[in-house]
Structure 1
Amino acid sequence: MIDTLQTIVVALVTFATVVAVHEYGHFWVARRAGVKVLRFSIGFGKPLLNWRGKDNTEYVIAAIPLGGYVRMADERDGDITAADLPRAFNRQSVGKRSAIAAAGPAANFLLAILVLWGLFLRGEIGVIPEIATVAPGSIAEQAGLQPGQEIREIDARETPTVAAVNFALLERLGDTGALNLAVSRPGSDALIRSEVAIDKWLKGAEQPDLLAALGVTIRTPPVVPRVGGLTEAGVARSAGFQVGDLILEADGTQLPLWIDWVNYVRSRPDQRIEVWVERAGTRQNIVVTPASVMAEDKRIGSVGMSVALPAIPASQQRRFDRGPWDALSASLNRTKDLVTFTFKSIARMLQGLISPSNLSGPITIAQVAASTAEAGWVAWLGFLALLSVSLGALNLLPIPVLDGGHLVFYGFEAVMGKPLPEKVQLAGYQMGVVLVLSIMVFALYNDFAKL
């Protein structure tokens, strides 16, 4: 119960933050453009809390915290007084209306830039991408990669950390062409370059393991099967597992590594497993039956458990300390990369190159928000920046009812010298509502399928 409440609270704070910033962007520009704002709402539905400011704007916190809106005076929405006509939204120039529509996404991007700037100023630490093993027949082996080498570049992008390697590989999901790699030997800065062909790489894969697909593992301390977390509804919790338990064996099979335990569970959906764990220096017996869940079109076992990751030695980490200007430049570049990646991913999903099952809804976002909050405020702020970029980018899609759809209509108006006919706009909005609701329902379906 406590875990559920914590997840809900963290999710609400996370959603409310990015939504409030988005809507405040619209609100701030609208006010400065001389438009009368009637209501500023965080959430939809029945108001839980509302008050009226000195500007006579009604401020609302509503029951459904999955969005928000700014309602402005507009002749199309009802009668307004003659005194307010000059402040009506529909009477503003195309430039002002476009600025108001673009201000929401712009505010989300600005939030991400500021958060990342603060994190970069604090100092960034990442795991050095030193290769531990190379899988036979893999892309890495074809490229000539060897254990002990460090992955220095992917497609001419520097990869000083494992996170940078993963992000560079993410950008090639579903792609066809040449994957360019550069590595270096221990104690040498000389780059060894290689090129390997990929063809619709990981097309349709659900939650792909990028490093495994490349064919490498990274040198880190061994990840032993020690329980780091338990989901409230998972069978591991009800079976009696506790955080801190060290899993020793299952059905008499020794399990020295976490991946051994994961593979053992995944291969046994709905099958009874007798497990021995070490707890507080003593051996204890637990019996658990993994739940059967669908993943990549097949049934696998799941017990609702996460691993306690070992501490990474300083020798395997790389730290980046930046001054204010370098940190600002890095935050701008990171935000630009995230926006570009979001649009590329949407395009590849529409082409069928990326599985639509990777589309996540509010439940998954809430779970990730809670897990990052447990990992610490730095991890949570990083996720907040990512979510803010995603919200801003998605709102720029050219779908009527979204900010991007409004900007498309205003673009036609600027070119034609007059607005599109009301019937055309109304039909566009109706199609937009259906499309957005369909996407939301599909994302929720994915969320429930992952539970």
Structure 2
Amino acid sequence: MLGFVQSALTYIIPFLLVLTLVVTVHELGHFLAARSFGVAVDRFSIGFGRAIARWTDKSGVEWRVGWMPLGGYVRFAGDANAASVPDGEDLEVMRREIEAREGTGAAARYYHFKPIWQRAVIAAAGPFANFFLAVALFAVLLMAFGKTIYPARVDGVVPGSPAEHAGFQVGDRVIEADGRRIESFLELRQIVFLRAGAQIDFVVDRGGRTLTLTATPERRVVSDEMGGEQRVGVLGLEARESFNDREVRRYNPIQAIGGGAAMTWNILDTTVYYLGRLVSGRETADQLGGPLRIAQVSGKAAQAGAEGASDIGQVLLGSGVALLNLAAVLSVGIGFMNLLPVPVLDGGHLLFYAYEAVARRPLKAEVQAAGYRLGLALLVGLMLFATWNDLQQLRVFKILGGLLS
């Protein structure tokens, strides 16, 4: 029993806090955009399931808190169609029913009768709310704590590694990799991880001289900080982070917003690059994670943030900071995923609206329904694959095999 409680506090609660924050902000983006265009909204819910608290505001919106804290949702008035884009016949029937019930012109308040551009803005507002959340969280952390940077200095070169073959030497400082400015060894490692088998040009500072070296990272199995294993690109460079070498960069509010935007863009750019290599077969799916990985990362982040704390206040502060950073990263991922042109996701709605704008009529309901089923199947399949990947990464099958043998 004690072990279960400890696991809940360590993994489940941080996971729920992070997920609920990110998904609620996503839905809040849809809600605020809809209200700005005068769309009638029935309900905004934080969490799912039976309500443990509810109230109705002056505009008639029911606000509720569900007992299952796994995100939330916003429900527009009359939003019964699964794809949220009824066809022409459905729209006409809906209009007659609304006007018979509420009077002439009442349909103008409903989402489906708004101009296409307004519906597109509402659909895109959720993902962009996630991007804004990431920028805001990164900015707050930069203002409060600054950014700790350890220079990308080479303290060791593994014999026989791609780095040795390329001519790297101890004392080199990497200032550019694959055309990107490098400020820290962490940034260098992130670039190398995703470029196994790809030739990379490096610009290094060697005793005041600027040199260009070319190396191709080789794919190796490495253990990550979460206890799992991944096949990533490895160059063979070693660094020893010294307290005397570190630089703590401070940010004013304007600089912090710019820094937060840059960090958000970097995550997006890295995600697109990784997916491009994955689709082309040049990258493995090791880094695709599902809810198990998110829960594990949430727990590890909370533990790492609390490490070394001397009292409960420092524990909460450290854990909170780590989870806010994780929430920012996850928010970018959820925002990007929802913009993919897959029915069921916001990007799928935008795809339907693009067709409607060109054809001057909504897509037929049967086609939308088929697209919805296909999109749902793809989403479920991806989730199952990610969960299977999580189990493998966490070496669950090896552990079970050892217990059963």
> Shared fold by TM > 0.5?
yes
Q: Deviations over 1:360-397 (max 9, x none)?
A: 11121112112212312333222111011011001111
Displacement after TM superposition at 1:191 (Å): 2.2
**Is residue 192 of structure 1 aligned with residue 121 of structure 2?**
no
Would you say the 8 A contact 2:231–2:286 is kept in 1? Answer: no
Counterpart Cα distance in 2 of 1:75 and 1:13: 28
Q: Which has the higher contact order (CA 8 A, sep 6+)?
A: 2
Q: Distance in 1 between matches of 2:147 and 2:112?
A: 47
Segments of structure 2 that go 5 or more residues without pairing to the other structure are 82-93, 223-228, 306-317, 397-405
Q: Cα deviations across residues 79-125 of structure 1 (Å, max 9, x unaligned)?
A: 54334421111101100100000000010000111111122223100
Relative distance call for 1:75 and 1:58 in structure 2 (3 A) is: closer
Counterpart pick for 1:439 among 366, 382, 385: 382
Pairing partner for 1:5 from 4, 8, 17:
8
Conserved 8 A contact 2:28-2:126:
yes
Classify 1:127/1:197 alpha carbon distance in 2 versus 1 (closer, same or farther; 3 Å): closer
2:293 is aligned, of 358, 364, 369, to 364
1:3-402 to 2 correspondences below 5 Å:
3-6=6-9, 7-74=11-78, 77=81, 80=98, 81-83=101-103, 84-122=106-144, 123-170=146-193, 172-173=194-195, 176=198, 178-185=199-206, 188-197=207-216, 202=219, 207-208=230-231, 210=233, 213-220=234-241, 313-374=242-303, 375=305, 376=318, 377-402=320-345
Q: Where is the helix percentage greater, Structure 1 or Structure 2?
A: 2
Aligned residues: 351
Q: 1:59 to 1:350 in 2, by over 3 A?
A: farther
RMSD: 2.3
Q: Please tell me whether the aligned partners of residues 203 and 354 of structure 1 are also in contact (alpha carbons under 8 angstroms).
A: no
Q: Deviations over 1:405-446 (max 9, x none)?
A: 111111111122111111111111111111111111222222
Q: What is the aligned partner in structure 1 of residue 86 from structure 2?
A: none
By how many angstroms is 1:174 displaced? 5.1
Contact 1:131–1:148 (8 Å) recurs in 2: yes
TM-fit CA distance, 1:209 = 5.3
- In 2, the alpha carbon distance for the partners of 1:174 and 1:344 equals 13
Which structure has greater strand proportion? 1
Question: Compared with structure 1, are the counterparts of its residues 392 and 189 closer, same or farther at alpha carbon in structure 2 (3 Å cutoff)?
Answer: farther
What residue ranges of structure 1 are gaps of 5+ in the alignment? 221-312
Structure 1 pair 64–340 and aligned structure 2 pair: CA distance change class (3 A): farther
Match of 2:352 among 409, 426, 429: 409
Residues 443 and 416 of structure 1: is their aligned pair in 2 closer, same or farther, counting only changes over 3 Å? same
CA distance in 1, matches of 2:208, 2:156: 21
TM-score normalised over the length of structure 2: 0.80
Percentage identity across paired residues of the two chains:
35
Amino acid at match of 1:420: L
